[in-house]
Each structure stands twice: as structure tokens, then as C-alpha cells.
Amino acid sequence: MDWLTTVDHKKIGILYLIAGGFFFLVGGLEALLIRIQLWKPLNDFVSADTYNELITMHGTTMIFLAAMPMLFALMNAVVPLQIGARDVAFPFVNALGFWTFFFGAVLLNVSWFTSTGAPAAGWTAYAPLSGPAFSTGHGMDYYVLGLQIAGIGTLIGGINFLVTIINMRAPGMTFMRMPMFTWASFITSALILFAFPALAVGLAALMFDRVFDANFFDPNNGGNAVLWEHIFWIFGHPEVYILILPAFGVISEVISTFSRKRLFGYSSMVFATILIGFLGFMVWAHHMFTTGLGPVANALFSIATMLIAVPTGIKIFNWIFTMWGGSIKFTSANLYAVGFIPTFVMGGVTGVMLAAAPADFQYHDTYFVVAHFHYVIVGGLILGIFSGLHYWWPKMFGRVLNETLGKWTFWMFYIGFHLTFFIQHFLGLLGMPRRIWTYLDGLGFNEMNLISTIGAIMMGIGTIMFFLNVVITNAKPQNAADDPWEDGRTLEWTIPSPPPEYNFKQTPLVRGYDAYWKEKMDGHKGMTPAEPIGSIHMPSPSILPFTMSLGLFITGFGLMYSRDWTFITEHIGFYVAGLGLLITFGSMFLRSVYDDHGFHIEPEELEDKGVKA
């Protein structure tokens, strides 16, 4: 019950981690089923329809329900601590963001258990394939409404982080003293703010097409299918940077800590991050080179895309220069971070190849593209998340993950990853198309697909080893030191592990970049406080975020079946949808009418150790 009503950012971070971790397993299972289907030619392990459902749900789950929430988990757990804040700007909204994501995710996955099955039009849901004419049944309805609800959560989460970082930094924490992970979270949140509303409109239009017979994307009624591609990718391309920038932030923190050196070129890192975020919005049409936009558009988007390699290259070199001459410790977290660098470079190089429009006509819709984005997303983002989890686990849970097992996990996952996806570049160059459920014998695809499947199984074993590590670690007592790596540089390492509910007994005074490191170098034991010890105001827990999101879940469910359920009267689905909206708006009304006065923690209660996790 405590977990249903909590508004504490650290607990919400843990909720995001549990939910995101669960959907990571689901998405991984879907991936394994895909790879088992493809391990030999003319396999009939799953049917073609099931295969379409699997690839759609694998992509959707991994992007929206696994990667994003795990990043939000790290951001929630770390960002307020890194800037010396007691909480996020809107704790209530933070909880609401989690619950809307959660109920949206559940709604999407309910589709597996319905008679018409899961969505099967690909994660990009290209119209008119995703429209009512070709995607009959309710699969795509689940996609549209599930993502719509989950998207609300992401959007308000992004606004929350922006306000937190702008308004709630500790005294002395100027923008150019902010840790890189906080910077990355800041830019990511800005991208979320400007990208997700476009997706919301696209999903709403598709929903209108499907549920209310609108004509947005149906060419027979004057609609325009390419319009969907534009709307989807003006969201979808920034989404890639929404995912990767926080991973960049993690890598910057980890490499700097375990090299025992200040991050090389900090200010160039900041501006590179901003530039990547900006350019991320300028390049959406590189997903549409073969759509027929014409040579001028293709050339412009091609050049804009290649430009992104410049700030990314700056970051890569800065990480290498940070390690240069440092006293490097290869902890598990650092293994992931160091492993990230060459992997991401490879993903970036194939990205430049794909950005060349004429070459893209060859690579388009082959496994080369699949290999490219898995190098970026798994080899970039997932390695970044693993690195961050190993690094901040003691701060989040008060226990250090097992290092030996962590290193074994890394090698298992890392080798498995390259085995799976490196070879897919060649499969693509040989012409194996993506999204097909099987292939003929004698095309030269057999051995490479088998190797790829073996690699995928190794990644699966690696993931299980990580969860094993979590279980083993969880059995240990909470005995992590405040600064378990002993080389912590930023504010989160100055407070107990796990931190108390109020984070900082006294708001710290920040005197430079790498605030804690600076105090250590000046021979101080800890931070200088910026305020006297006093009573601390905390927001009270609330069930309303849960009920608001539950209402949206019911609404989505009702809308979908608005035409099917006729057992009492016609259009019963609309009544269900109305009931759901009533719950949501009722909760909003309650929230606005009853003021939350919160509670105070008095100075004499401040000595006890952290929240139970």
C-alpha cells in the first residue's frame, strides 16, 4: 500500500526500475522467440501472424516500456541527489507519471490475451497498414491507446525534471557546475517535452481513424499515409536521442569516477549534448529516404544527419581523454562504460553509412538497419543502463552488487551482443530483408542466422545472471558506505546509502564542478552546509495518481470495445469509457480542491538512516 501512494522520488525510481525491468524481460523473451524462429531456414516455430506480433511488441516494449522507464528510474534515483534537492518539483505529478506509464504498459500487453491478438503492424505502425482496413481486430487499438496513456506519463515526467533542474539546484550549483548525468537528463527532458506531443497527435488521429472512421491516413478517403510517417518520425527521431543522451550521461559519470579524473572537456560535453538534442529534431526524414520525398529533401536531411556525428565524436574523444593517464579501476560499472565506447562508435559509423541517401536505398529494410540500431540502442543505451545500475545500485538500495558475478555478466552479455548483431550487418549486405518471418535455404543466410541466435541466447543468459545478482545482493544486509566506490565526485555520495526520505539534512553549499571531489581535494570531510538544521517540509502520500491512471486505463479499454460490446445496450463501451474519464477527472477535482499541506520532519528525528527499499 505504501508503494501505491508514495510520492518519494527514490521510491518512484525503484518502481520504475521494477516495472521497466519486468518489461525488459518480456521484450527479451519476445526477441528470443524471434531469434529461435530465424535460427534455420523455413522454420515453423511460430506462425507468420505471431511473428508480426512478436516484432511489433518487441520493438514497442523495448523502447517505451523497458528502456524509457529504466532511464526514468535512474533519473528519479539520481538527479535530485546530484543537484542537492530534497525532492523533485512536483512529487505528486512524479507519481502520476509512473502510474500512467504503468497502466498504459499493462493495457498494451493485455492485447496478448485477447482473441484478436497483439498489434502486428510493426512498432512504427505505418499507415495504412495500421489503419482499420488492414489491421482488423483490436491489436492496433491496444497499441494506440496503450502508448497514448503511457506517453502522458513520460511527458509530465519530462516537465517535472526540467522544473526540478531549473528551480531546485542547491546554492552554488550553477548550470556549468551540474554533473553530466543531470545535464543529459535535462536535455532529454526538453526533447521529451517537444517530441511526445507530436506522437500524442499522431496516435489520436490514428485512434480516430480506427474507432470513429476518420480519414487522416486512408488514401481512399483523401487521407495521406506519408503524413503518418512525418508525424511518427518527428517524434521518433528525437526519441532516439531521448534514449541515448542519459546513457551518455551515465558513461561520463562512471568513466570519470573510475579514472579518478575530472571529465575531460566538460563544457564541450555540455554543448555537444545540447547540439545533439537540437539536431535530433532536424533529421526525422532520414527514416523516409525511400518514401519518395525527392533529391533535395533527401540531400538536406542526409547532411543534417551526418552533422550529428560531429558532437558525438567530441563526446567519444572526451571520454577517451578522460581515461588517458587516469588510474583506471575496472569495476563492473566501468567495464560496461568502457565497453560502451567502441560499440557505440560502430553504431555511429553505420549510422553515417545509412545517412548517405543513395546508399540507404541499398540498405533500406535489410538486416543492416537492424544491426545498426541495435548497436546504438543495445550497445549504447542498454550497456549504459547496466553501467548506471551497477554504479548507483549501492545508493539506491544500500547494497553493492556482487562484482565477480557482475563481471561475468558483462562478458556474457557483451560477447553475446556482438555475436548477435555484428553478423547481421553482413546478412543485411547480402540482402536479407527485415520483418520477414522466415527465409529460403541456399541463400547464404543459414549459418549467420544460427550464430546470431546463439548470441541472443548468450545475451539472455547474461540478463538472467544480472537478475541472479540482484537476488543474491538483496539477501545481504544494507551495509553500503555513503561513498562505496571511495572516489565519488558528486553530491549523491555525500549522503547515506540509501538516502533518508529528505535526502539532505542540510542543503549543501556547492563550491565547484564535481562538488564532493572538490571538498575532498581541499581536505574537507564533507560538504559545507548552506542552511542551519531545521524542520523539513515533505509532501504527503496520495492514492490519487493511481486512481487517475486507473481511470485512463478503463477509458482506453472502453473506447476500444465501443462497437463490440452490445450485451445490455448498444455502445456500452462508450459508457465504460465515460466511467473511466469520470474517475480520472474526479480524482483531478479532488486533488485541486483539497490542498496538500504535507508534513514536517523535525530536527530531532533527522538522525535515523534511510528509507527502506
Partner 1 sequence: MSTHSHAEGHLPHEPEKATLEGRNKVLGFWLFLGGETVLFGTLFSAFLALRHQVLDGPQPNELFKLSLVAAATAILLTSSLTSVFAIQALHNHNVKALINWLIVTVVLGLGFLGLEIYEFYHYVHEGHGFTTSAFSSSFYTLVGFHGAHVAFGIFWISSIIGQLMKKGLTVVTAPKVYVAGMYWHFIDVVWVFIFTVVYLMGKVV
State the residues that interact with partner 1 by CB under 8 A. 89-90, 155, 159-160, 162-163, 166-168, 193-198, 200-202, 204-205, 208-209, 212-216, 218, 221-224, 227, 230-231, 234, 537, 589, 592-593, 595
Query: Do 62 and 121 contact (CB within 8 A), yes or no?
Result: no
Contact 351, 374 (CB under 8 A): no
Q: Which is nearer to partner 1, 125 or 269 (CB)?
A: 125
Least Å distance, CB 395 to partner 1, is 25
**579 CB burial (10 A radius; 0-12, 13-18, 19+):** middle
Contacts of 564 (CB under 8 A, 6+ apart): 573
d(Cα 144, Cα 154) in Å, to the nearest integer? 15
**436 — phi, psi (to 5°)?**
-100, 145
- The H-assigned helical ranges of 332-445 are 332-355, 357-363, 367-376, 383-397, 403-430
Nearest CB to partner 1, comparing residues 31 and 83: 83
The nearest distance, CB 166 to partner 1, in angstroms, is 6
Cβ of residue 598: shortest distance to partner 1, in angstroms? 10
State in angstroms the smallest separation of the CB of 586 from partner 1. Answer: 12
- The residue among 202 and 610 lying less far from partner 1, judged by its C-beta, is 202
Distance of CA 485 to the CA centre of its chain: 26
We find the least distance from the C-beta atom of residue 201 to partner 1, in angstroms, to be 4
Which residues fall within 8 angstroms of residue 381, CB to CB, at 6 or more apart?
67, 71, 243, 244, 247
Q: Is residue 597 within 8 Å of 588, Cβ to Cβ? A: no
Q: Which is nearer to partner 1, 222 or 523 (CB)?
A: 222
Q: Please identify, using beta-carbon distances, which residue of 454 and 588 lies nearer to partner 1.
A: 588
DSSP 108-168: HHHGGGSTT-S--STTTT-TTTTSTTTS-SSHHHHHHHHHHHHHHHHHHHHHHHHHHHHH-
Taking the complex as a whole, the smallest distance from the CB of residue 92 to partner 1 amounts, in Å, to 11
Q: Which is nearer to partner 1, 50 or 124 (CB)?
A: 124
Is the Cβ of residue 204 or residue 288 nearer to partner 1 in the bound state?
204
How far apart are the C-alpha atoms of 546 and 151, rounded to whole Å? 16
Q: Find the shortest distance in angstroms from Cβ 194 to partner 1.
A: 5
Which of residues 113 and 212 has its CB atom nearest to partner 1 in the complex? 212
- Distance in angstroms (rounded) separating the CA atoms of residues 445 and 440: 8
* Cβ at position 89, least distance to partner 1 in Å: 4
Closest CA to 141 of 175, 161, 114, 177: 114
CB of 457 to partner 1, least distance (A): 42
Phi-psi map region of 477: left, alpha, beta (phi>0 left; psi -120 to 50 alpha): beta
d(CA 591, CA 545): 9
CB count within 10 Å of CB 595 equals 7
Which residue number, 537 or 609, has a Cβ lying nearer to partner 1? 537
